[in-house]
Amino acid sequence: MDVKRFHLRSRAMLVMLAAAFALLLWTLFDLQVVNGSYYLEQSTRKIANTETVQAARGAILDRYGRALVSNRATYQVTLDLQMMGSTQNRNETILALLQVCEEQGVEWTDTLPVTQAAPFHYTVDSPYTVVTLGEDGTESRTATRLSRLVDSLKLWTQKKAPLPQDPSAAELIWSLRTWFEVDESVPEAEGRALVGVLYELFLRSRDIYKGSGYIFAQDVDVNFITVVKERRLIGVRIDTATVREYNTKYAAHLLGQVGAIQNWDSYKDKGYSMNDTVGVDGVERAFEEILRGTSGVKDVDYNQNGKIVSESWHVDPETGELQVPKPGETPMLTLDIKLQEVVEESLRRHIPGMTEESQKGACVVVDMTGGVLASASFPSYDPAEYYTRYNELLEDPLQPLHNKALQGLYAPGSTFKMAVAAGALEEGFITRTEKIEDTGRYKHYERVEDQPMCWYYRQYGRTHGYVNVSEAIRDSCNVYFYETGLRLGIQKIDEYAARFGLGRTTGLELYEAVGEVAGPESSKNHGQTWYEGETMYAAIGQGNTQVTPIQLANYVATLVNGGNHYRTHLLKTVKSSDFSQVIEEYEPELLDRLELDPANVEAVKKGMGMVAAEGSAAGYFRDLPVKVGAKTGTAQVARDQEANAILVAFAPYDDPEIAISIVVERGGSGSLVAEIAAEIFEYYFAARDALEAPAVENTMIR
């Protein structure tokens, strides 16, 4: 019995083993014979890739949370060299894509600094070496991306036709065509476009640029995508992305623009990829670290047709976290975009008709702690049209791209007199009640044949008589300030001007011009000799003194707030990307405390109050809901040209909230600018009162 049972079990085991072996053979036959070619192709053509996913930039808001710059969903075209196959297939694919771009009017990324059409020449002055000067005056030379390419070309061509040290543009294009195996039948223009794309791909193949996929084109439309899909161009991928969208046509000079990285060496060590969009000017550049998000990383598998088989977020090997993109944070500015609109529209309406020559100007509005409420430069442009109209804007003789509010330098004229008055009062060289006689001609230097005159005497043949400091400011009496300036002396004039922030940057986050104040040092810098008598002209804002409109506005704010000189700023608050948290709150930064005697400040303010109430500008300020203090200035530019018109003002008189400066180039008299200031004050205080009024049920607050 036992033997029989053993044989049965043995036969059963043999049958089971035979069945398992047969199944294994059939599986191997199916994999290797029946479907062998399919699985072989899958195993050899399936491509795993790691891709960087750009994070959305943070939005930019005004002080009331109104969106100034946001993001718009769009599509971009990315090229994947690994998917394009052989050199011939690669070139044919790119040429076909370029043809679609030409047909659809789509621009693509091409940073090769060579013209698109023959005869070829470089589009930059120094294609191979960038020379910069250090603070000590020494030169520093940095190789450009193109020079790195040429180094590689020299190694490749040394056994063939050696390249010169610095090849011409034509020699470079010829060498690139040969290196990238561009068929001789491809015309010059198409060949130049092709090597431009291959140049971009080459850069990203180098170690220094690895991890940066080539974003060929951005913000493409559905028609373009449809044509590309129909042509089945392998290695050409369409991805979703975001682009900047402007929610206002104002504040172009403040908001700035974003663009491609131009100086890679400045960004490569900060975690950027070559395809990242960065701020190139304005707020976009100043707050780059705030606005920039954190890029994510995806693991993507493609099949032989270039289609995505699977994708997932990459896991950070160190932290174990998914590398999901995190959008940038949201800066809320001190800017009031509605006030900015009022300022820009007022400049647009009034400047062109002020005189026959007036066509340019600027205006800045600040609060008492340096916050910039509005900053306008005229003429301006719609920030959304910056790139499409760039050449037109660049060639415009009125220089709309120049930010005159922050970078325009102007003689302050009589608006400088308050700084001299405040300094002389504080130092005890004049008193609030002392009266100085305006004699028409100032005879301090009796031997001087061309004795300086007061404007009133020159224009009307009369004098202001005896005036105190407040009356001298009201009348803008030159003789009074000639005398006061000589008493105070040029060193003290320069000292007080500097402490008020004139002739130096205000500390704003954006680029601004420095300027200067007349004096021995300024004359030395200009290769001139300083004479004591020039102090008289420095005291009335003439000579070498050059300041910016933002300096003038902050100077007036410093004066009327009692001498607290704050750094100007545009940042108010930083919020999280979803606006749920306040990450940073800006604290006003005190640069200097002049500790002015309140009685002296009041004497200067009184003069400015009389200018607004009694002077030629009184008609514009009389009907405002608040009392205003102001000072006009007229700065001569040339004998045969209209003078620049300048006005500074503040309000309310008793408890100042805002200060304004306005400059109109060739605008004539400063009093002509008063209408612009009046419109700004009228809007500001009407809007403020509306915000402070109690809310009515079922009524929108803003």
Higher pLDDT, 333 or 693: 333
Q: Are 26 and 288 in contact (CB under 8 A)?
A: no
Segment among 32-36, 247-251, 640-644 with least mean pLDDT: 32-36
CB atoms within 10 A of CB 96: 15
pLDDT over threshold 50, residue 696: no
Pick the closest to residue 549 from 612, 436, 633, 456 (CA basis): 633
User: Where does the pLDDT of residue 140 fall: very low under 50, low under 70, confident under 90, or very high at 90 and above?
Assistant: low
HEC-encoded secondary structure of 354-417:
HCCCCCEEEEEEEECCCEEEEEEEECCCCHHHCCCCHHHHHHCCCCCCCCHHHHCCECCHHHHH
- pLDDT of 423 higher than 70: yes
Q: Is residue 211 over pLDDT 90?
A: no
pLDDT 10s digits, 642-671: 889 999 999 999 999 999 999 999 888 777
Could you tell me the pLDDT band of residue 426, with boundaries at 50, 70 and 90?
A: very high
d(CA 184, CA 597): 83
Q: What is the mean pLDDT of the chain?
A: 86
Which of 417-421, 439-443, 610-614 shows the lowest per-residue confidence on average (mean pLDDT)?
439-443
- 315-319, 476-480, 679-683: segment of lowest average pLDDT: 315-319
At 114, list the tokens: 């060579």
Residues 69, 73, 76, CA angle at the centre, nearest 5°?
115
Q: Which of helix, strand or coil describes residue 530? A: coil
pLDDT at position 637 is 77
Range of weakest confidence among 50-59, 243-252, 329-338? 50-59
Q: What is the pLDDT of residues 328-352, one digit of tens each?
A: 999 999 999 999 999 999 999 999 9
Average pLDDT over residues 311-330: 83
Within 13 A of 638's CA, how many CA atoms are on the CB side?
5
For residue range 388-404, list pLDDT tens digits in order. Answer: 898 899 999 999 999 99
pLDDT band at 380 (very low <50, low <70, confident <90, very high): very high
CB atoms within 10 A of CB 538: 24
The stretch 227-237 carries a mean pLDDT of: 87
Least Cα distance to 410 among 648, 194, 625 occurs for 648
* pLDDT computed for residue 513 by the predictor: 96
- Helix (H) or strand (E) run with residue 648 in it: strand 644-651
pLDDT band at 46 (very low <50, low <70, confident <90, very high): low
Contact 258, 57 (CB under 8 A): yes
pLDDT range class, residue 695, cuts 50, 70, 90: very low
The DSSP 8-state label assigned to residue 328 in this structure reads: P
| Structure confidence at residue 142 as a pLDDT band (50, 70, 90) | low
Of the ranges 141-145, 220-224, 243-247, 470-474, which one carries the lowest mean pLDDT score? 141-145
Over residues 30-56, mean pLDDT: 64
CB 439 within 8 A of CB 463: yes
HEC letters along 20-42: HHHHHHHHHHHHHHHCHHHHHHH
Q: What is the pLDDT of residue 496?
A: 97
* pLDDT confidence band for 66 (50 / 70 / 90): very high
Residues 6+ apart with CB under 8 A from 656: 368, 557, 560, 561, 629, 650
- What is the reported pLDDT for 699? 42
pLDDT digits (tens, 9 = 90+) for 83-136: 788 889 889 999 999 999 999 999 888 888 889 888 998 887 777 765 554 545
CA-nearest of 257, 301, 307, 302 to 277 is 257
Could you report the per-residue pLDDT of 488-541, keeping only the tens digit for each?
Answer: 999 999 999 999 999 999 999 999 999 999 999 999 999 999 998 899 999 999
Q: How confident is the model at residue 470 (pLDDT cuts 50, 70, 90)?
A: very high
